[in-house]
């Protein structure tokens, strides 16, 4: 047919496809003579065999399937983390402003107890058997129900905070080393003095050793007290007050104690003492 011959004359021969595009072959520009083009060259490509298409299709199917169905996450429920964060904020709002519990009323004690129990329930049981390192670090005491007794020792003997002996309690810390089993209670105190003498500022460190009993109970054994003065008397070197012999120690203060860790994470810790004290710590 004339139309077929004319269309065929417009197609370049196979060698022309490899020529430089800057110098088009004359047969394309000027020649309109009939040209016989091989059937395989008319489309410019060859159809691959069926097995190649099948292999490529299989690879695409596997790739798409991996993107459509990702493996399930093992990081836990984000909803539980949000709930715990809200309960922690509630506890912080309850105990803030109570001056570590020194100015807590009966109603304040009850609200702190309810908020602490809510966080303990949300966090679940504590098991320190394989996670003792969660206690590692320096923790700042945020609240202690024992301080409501107006004694820095709580239910144990301690310095009173009345007017006869003016004592101002500063920051209180617990420093725990899980490797050496050192457990230090650190308290910053200010003792009043008669005029014109300035108050005495000091930091008392009560050194203990600790051991884990069961899954979450900590037993501490007192060793000594180290006092370091500060302020106007900061030039005085630290001095130790050794532990009294057991024969001179009152039965109410045997030098040992224990408490349970009822909640702990990277930033907060709740403990309950052997005499019912509720304490809330945050990482320092």
Mean pLDDT of 248-273: 88
DSSP structure class, residue 258: E
265 versus 152: the higher-pLDDT residue is: 265
Above 90 in pLDDT, residue 58?
no
Q: At 250, is the pLDDT very low, low, confident or very high (cuts 50, 70, 90)?
A: low
Q: Is the dihedral of CA 280, 209, 175, 104 positive or negative?
A: positive
Q: If you average pLDDT over residues 199-219, what whole number do you get? A: 96
% of residues, the chain, pLDDT over 90: 51
Q: Is pLDDT at 197 greater than 80 in this prediction?
A: yes
Q: Which residues contact 238 (CB under 8 A, 6 or more apart)?
A: 226, 227, 228
Tokens 């996450």, residue located:
73
Angle between the 78-95 and 106-123 helix axes, to the nearest 10 degrees? 160
pLDDT at 209: 97
Q: Is the pLDDT of residue 77 over 60?
A: no
DSSP string, 118-168: HHHHHH-----SS-GGGG-EEEEEEEEGGGGGSBTTTTSS--B-SSSS-EE
Q: Check if the beta carbon of residue 102 is closer than 8 Å to that of residue 169.
A: yes
Lowest mean pLDDT among 79-83, 141-145, 147-151: 147-151
* Rounded Cα distance, 268 and 174, in Å: 13
For residue 238, pLDDT over 50 is answered with yes
Between 16-20, 59-63, 96-100, the lowest mean confidence (pLDDT) is in: 59-63
- What is the model's pLDDT at position 164? 55
The answer as to CATH 3.90.180.10 being correct for domain 81-283 is no
Q: 11: which residues sit within 8 A by CB, 6+ positions away?
A: 35, 37, 42
Per-residue pLDDT at 44 exceeds 50: no
Banded pLDDT at 72 (limits 50, 70, 90):
very low
Q: Say if CB 84 and CB 92 are below 8 A apart.
A: no
């Amino acid at each position: 047919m004339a139309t077929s011959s004319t269309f065929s004359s417009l197609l370049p021969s196979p060698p022309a496809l490899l020529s430089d595009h800057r110098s088009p072959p004359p047969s394309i520009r000027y020649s309109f003579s009939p040209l016989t083009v091989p059937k395989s060259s008319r489309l410019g490509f060859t159809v691959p065999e069926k097995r190649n298409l099948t292999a490529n299709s299989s690879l695409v199917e596997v790739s798409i399937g991996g993107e459509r169905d990702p493996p399930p996450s093992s990081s836990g429920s984000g909803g539980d983390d949000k709930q715990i964060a809200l309960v922690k904020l509630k506890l912080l709002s309850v105990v803030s402003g109570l001056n570590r519990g020194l100015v807590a009323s009966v109603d304040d004690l009850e609200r702190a107890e309810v908020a602490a129990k809510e966080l303990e329930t949300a966090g679940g049981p504590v098991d320190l058997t394989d996670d003792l390192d969660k206690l590692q670090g320096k923790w700042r005491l945020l609240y202690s129900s024992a301080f409501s007794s107006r004694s820095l020792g709580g239910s144990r003997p301690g310095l009173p905070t009345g007017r006869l002996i003016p004592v101002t309690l500063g920051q209180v810390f617990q420093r725990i080393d899980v490797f050496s089993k050192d457990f230090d209670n650190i308290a910053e105190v200010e003792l009043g003095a008669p005029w014109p003498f300035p108050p005495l500022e000091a930091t008392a460190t009560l050194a203990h050793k600790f051991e884990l009993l069961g899954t979450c109970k900590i037993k501490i054994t007192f060793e000594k007290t180290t006092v370091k003065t500060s302020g106007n008397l900061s030039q005085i070197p630290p001095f130790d007050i050794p532990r009294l012999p057991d024969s001179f120690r009152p039965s109410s203060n045997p030098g040992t104690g224990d408490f349970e860790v009822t909640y702990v994470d990277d930033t907060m810790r709740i403990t309950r003492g052997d005499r019912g004290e509720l304490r809330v710590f945050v990482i320092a």
